Amino acid sequence: MCVSRLDAQSDSFEELAMPLFDQLYNFARWLTQNREEAEDLVQETYAKALKGFSSFQLGTNFRAWMYRILRNTFLTSRTGLRATMTVSLDSEEDGPDLAVEGATPETILIERSNHALVQGAIDELPVHFREILLLCDVEEMSYQEIAGTLSIPIGTVMSRLSRARKALRGCLQKQLPTG
């Protein structure tokens, strides 16, 4: 009885988790910035998630749960610790930046549709900014899902996202020729 329950769980785990494989790998690679480390991270995430699947709370979001495991695993890894030590999270109170005037990184980017520039700028961001930007814009998570994934309140999601975008614009601005 007990065995059959466990097996039923691992079957449904695989069926729920494998469709997320590509996107989790993409996220892991952005976090670690290294292929081998990303593979190890994804592998460890799946192992941990499978082990903890029986404690996965039904009704909470499975995708957010997987991302949360991946991220926590990353944060406790050597690369993760190094990445978070180099950045201090300032106050979360910072408001969004104000109006955009004249030639902007955005318009130039769209004109050139230069992915490499944006990718370089995302790579430069501190990991807390990189992850929230990816969860929102690439994974298209709602603020609520992001809050669950990062274990932070929605208000913090909004302020951190705003600061991440401001930082990204700053990075791009530096890379673009003036004018």
Partner 1 sequence: MGCEDWKLKLDAYVDGELQPEEMRAFDAHVRGCPSCAADALARLQMKRAVQAAGKRFAPGAEFRKRMQERMAAKPRRSSVGFAWMWITATAVVAIVAVAGLTASYEGRERVRAQQVYSEVADLHVATLASASPVDVVSSDRHTVKPWFQGKIPFAFDLPELQNTEFSLLGGRMTYLDQTAGAHLIYELRKHRISVFIFPEGSVRGRLNANSSVTKELSFSMETWSRGGLRYFVIGDAGTADIDKLARLFKSTGS
8 vs 89 by CB, closer to partner 1: 8
Q: Indicate whether 96 belongs to the interface with partner 1 (CB under 8 A).
A: yes
Q: Which stretch binds partner 1 (CB under 8 A): 55-63, 66-74, 79-87?
A: 55-63
Q: Is there binding between residue 91 and partner 1 (CB under 8 A)?
A: no
**Torsion angle in degrees (nearest 10) through CA of 52, 47, 123, 113:** -90
Select from 86, 105, 83 the least CA-distant residue to 167: 105
Q: Which is nearer to partner 1, 36 or 85 (CB)?
A: 36
Phi first, then psi, for residue 60 (nearest 5°) are -85, 165
The reply on whether position 134 binds partner 1 by CB under 8 A is yes
Whole-angstrom Cα distance, residue 44 to residue 66?
Answer: 11
Binding pattern to partner 1, positions 3-42, x when CB under 8 A?
xxx-xxxxxx-xxxxxx-xx--xx--xx----x--xx--x
Q: Where along the sequence are the contacts to partner 1 (CB under 8 A)?
A: 1, 3-5, 7-12, 14-19, 21-22, 25-26, 29-30, 35, 38-39, 42-43, 46, 50, 57-62, 95-96, 98-100, 104-107, 109-110, 113, 115-116, 118-119, 122, 133-134, 136-138, 140, 142-144, 148, 158, 161-162, 165, 168-169
